[in-house]
Amino acid sequence: MAPPAAAAAGRLGAARRALLPVTVEPVLFLFMVGSYMQYTALQSLIYAKVCQERYSSYVCDTLDLAEHKPQEDEVQDQSSYWMLLSNVALAVPSVISGIYIGTWSDVFGRKVPLLLPPLGQILSALAPVDLVILASGVAGALGGFAGMILVVMSYLSAVTATGARTARVGVLEAMSLLGGFIGPFVGSLVFEQAGRTWTFCALLIINVAIVLYVVLLVREVPPPCPPPAADSLCETLTQLFSLRHLLDAILTSVRSREGRRRRYILMLLASSFVIMLNSSGEMHATYLFVRDAPLAVEDSTYFAYFAYKYGISSAALLIGMPLSRRYFPLSDTALSGLGLTSKILGLIWLGFAVNKAMLFIAPLVMILNTFCIPPIRSMLSKLVEDNEQGRIFSMVMVIESLCSLFGSLVYNSVYPATRRHLHGLVFLLGAASLLVPVLH
């Protein structure tokens, strides 16, 4: 029997080995907790302000009554419009900034880019809550949520062996979903107990914690091919903001490669676009969908649904994906196809939901939908060189930002136009579009 000191040392060593793989997972988790807190609070803020600017407090408090149906229709339509503008302000700047951030991570190192998205959230949280569009634009200029996903994915790919990459990417994706589970819950709790101001204060605290974690605990990963040392500030700025970064990111996805790898890269990027378009659109339209008749749920029920959906989705990634890879010989392609099938069935179910029971069953039907993207990200990282990880993920980030924009545009345009005819038609059309990546 081992002496107590040796046993304690053994337990400590085991704990260190268990913690060793943890790198940027807490960064993405905390960032997404803050992002989803902000997103749900922002939706409620827009909905409340649109109503208050047009109608009395009595009408806004009883908007779901049949006698206020015209007013509800007006608030629904105008809220959809302002949510669209907010998403445009976030997505458009992040398209350009994300390409630079991804290329910087390949050229200058992968640690400093991790600081930019949380700094954007800090500045956004400090902006007055009435300046919704400005706050979204500031966050987007420093990468936004898509930029954060880009930098953590490129960092993880740089420090993870090829064989373990799909599993690690799956865990990282689960951190995003766990943020979606905990963020609305914490956000609604803070919102109900202390109000919107303290919700944005909590967002500020979370992102300061991210900055401290990165500075103190995340090690630098030297770039494969560092640039020559700059002799002046002007030369440094020229290196940072050269248009060559944009060109290199685009060429990474289209240049000729051995073994038809270019074709596979383009097919994977196209599939990512369709999948992310629907994921973004679904998220943006669901709030208006559940607030409208026949569901007509309160904010608290929506927050519960949102947290519940992301909670079981993250559990599926953390538990289901490792088990499926361990006990079944499923390739990355098969895993993604399984996720697409689940997502299609879930969107169809959601489209026909007419009561709370059906609404809360929908996440169970699409429980494997989170299997769609992690295998695609992993396959992309394996198809490019080590010094192209940031560039290829910057292209994924561009797709994600465009999907945040176009998903909101498509769903928030189709939903108001079709809600009076078939309440959930927008989700049925989304399910049909997902047949495109299935056929690929």
d(CA 98, CA 146): 8
Q: Directed axis angle between helix 244-254 and helix 261-291, to 10°?
A: 100
Residue 40 near residue 189 (C-beta atoms within 8 A): no
Q: Where residue 49 falls among pLDDT bands split at 50, 70, 90?
A: confident
Q: Residue for token digits 């400005």?
A: 134
| CA–CA distance, 438 with 336 (Å, rounded to integer) | 9
More confident residue, 127 or 147: 147
Whether the Cβ atoms of residue 427 and residue 366 lie closer than 8 Å to each other: no
pLDDT confidence bin for 366, thresholds 50/70/90 = very high
pLDDT at 285 > cutoff 80 = yes
Please return the burial class of 378, using the count of CB atoms within 10 Å of its CB with bins 0-12, 13-18 and 19+: buried
pLDDT reading at 14 higher than 50: no
Q: Which of 186, 211, 213, 220 is nearest to 36 (CA)?
A: 186
14 within some domain: no
Could you give the CA distance from residue 168 to residue 157 in angstroms, rounded to a whole number? 9
CA distance 203 to 393: 26
Place of tokens 């053994």: 10
Q: Tell me the C-alpha to C-alpha distance, in Å, between residue 261 and each of 248, 252, 257, 373, 378.
A: 17, 11, 6, 19, 14
With 0-12 CB in 10 A as exposed, 13-18 as middle and 19+ as buried, what is 30? Answer: buried
Nearest to 91 by CA among 340, 285, 284: 284
Between the alpha carbon of residue 366 and those of residues 150, 244, 320, 361, the distances in Å are 25, 41, 13, 9
Across 173-221, where does the E strand assignment appear?
Answer: none
The tokens describing 158, both together, are 């740089």
* 284 residue type, one letter: H
**pLDDT of 144 strictly over 80:** yes
Helix 244-254 vs helix 389-418: crossing angle, to nearest 10: 80
- pLDDT above 80 (res 13): no
Q: What is the pLDDT of residues 305-335, one digit of tens each?
A: 887 888 888 888 888 887 877 788 788 888 8
DSSP conformation letters of 5-28? HHHHHHHHHHHHHHHTT-SSHHHH
Per-residue model confidence (pLDDT) at position 17:
39
Number of domains in the chain: 1
301: pLDDT strictly greater than 80 = yes
Q: Report yes or no on 212 lying in a domain.
A: yes
Contacts of 42 (CB under 8 A, 6+ apart): 86, 132
What is the per-residue pLDDT for 26? 93
Q: Tell me the whole-structure pTM to 2 decimals.
A: 0.71
Residue 8 lies in a domain: no
User: 219 lies in a domain?
Assistant: yes
Over residues 120-138, mean pLDDT: 79
Place of tokens 């519960």: 304
| Banded model confidence at residue 360, pLDDT cuts 50, 70, 90 | very high
Tokens standing for residue 104 = 């910087």
- pLDDT of the residue at 347: 94
For the cut 90, the answer to whether the pLDDT of residue 340 exceeds it is: yes
* Per-residue pLDDT at 387: 78
Tell me the CATH number at 409. 1.20.1250.20
| Residue 313: other Cβ atoms inside 10 A | 25
Does 412 map to a domain?
Answer: yes
Domain assignment of residue 231, yes or no? no
In a domain, 233, yes or no: no
Q: Quote the mean pLDDT of the chain.
A: 81
pLDDT score recorded for residue 8 = 47
Interval 255-282 mean pLDDT: 88
Domain of residue 356 covers 23-223+243-439
What's the DSSP call for residue 161?
-
Compute the radius of gyration of the chain from its Cα atoms: 22
Per-residue pLDDT at 232: 67
Asked, for residue 230, whether it belongs to a domain, the answer is no
